[in-house]
Amino acid sequence: MRDTLKIMIVDDDKNITELISLYLEKEGYSTKTYNNSKVALDEFNHYLPDMIILDIMMPDIDGYDFCTQIRKQSSIPIIMLTAKGETLDKVLGLRLGADDYIVKPFEPQELIARIKAVFRRFNQETLDKGLIFRDLIINPTDYSVVYKNEKLELPHKEFELLLFIASNANRVFTRDQILDKVWGYDFIGGSRTVDVHIKRLREKLKDNDSWRIKTVWSVGYKFEVS
């Protein structure tokens, strides 16, 4: 998969979003800033970030509601920003699914350190747990797939494609989004590449009553879990 991690920065203070973006891009991250939380939520499935830096006190959709809505569709890391320092605010944010909490004003290097720590923890938890579905186990640690108690040998890109869509169960992705996430933004091949790899996965993994690789006509694909 591509190496550049994408971070969505959501804060109604333009100066803060620009400052965070500047520091993160110096660290090698790709960023997109939003000063309107409703717009950010609407564009979440298009931008497909790997992490969200989220201010709590937003005028449109506050950080708590934003976090709640994201958690209905994704487990990506969320770090909350706020001028509040009360323990109850932190607890509420963490209960709603935030992965960390940092109080303004903060040093940019502290935020960067928190981001790296959250990514390490998130990646390790994914490695430790793997993905488990009925008749299917996907283990990122050793790139193994066990289907109906038999180990499958999948080519590298087939495995990464399966891991990506299964890690985002029930989310629809366009072919271009899949190309970006699995092959990288600089891949010169066309969207037909995705179709070919999906076809090969389907030949090896027959759908069952609890999950399937579904074609969403005129859009793309999703790993549908019932």
pLDDT, one tens digit per residue, over 156-178 is: 999 999 999 998 888 899 999 99
- Name, of 18-22, 66-70, 163-167, 222-226, the range with top average pLDDT: 18-22
Asked if the model's pLDDT at residue 194 lies above 60, the reply is: yes
- 33 vs 225: which has the higher pLDDT: 33
Q: Model pTM greater than 0.75? A: no
pLDDT at 133 (0 to 100): 87
Bigger pLDDT: 153 vs 85: 153
Q: What is the pLDDT of residue 61?
A: 93
Contacts 24+ apart (CB under 8 A), 60-66: 60/36, 61/37, 62/37, 63/10, 63/37, 63/93, 64/92, 64/93, 64/96, 66/10, 66/37, 66/40, 66/41
Q: What are the pLDDT digits (tens) for 94-124? A: 777 888 988 888 899 999 999 999 998 887 7
The closest alpha carbon to 115, from 3, 1, 5, belongs to 5
The full set of domains in the chain, from first to last, is: 6-127 (3.40.50.2300), 130-225 (1.10.10.10)
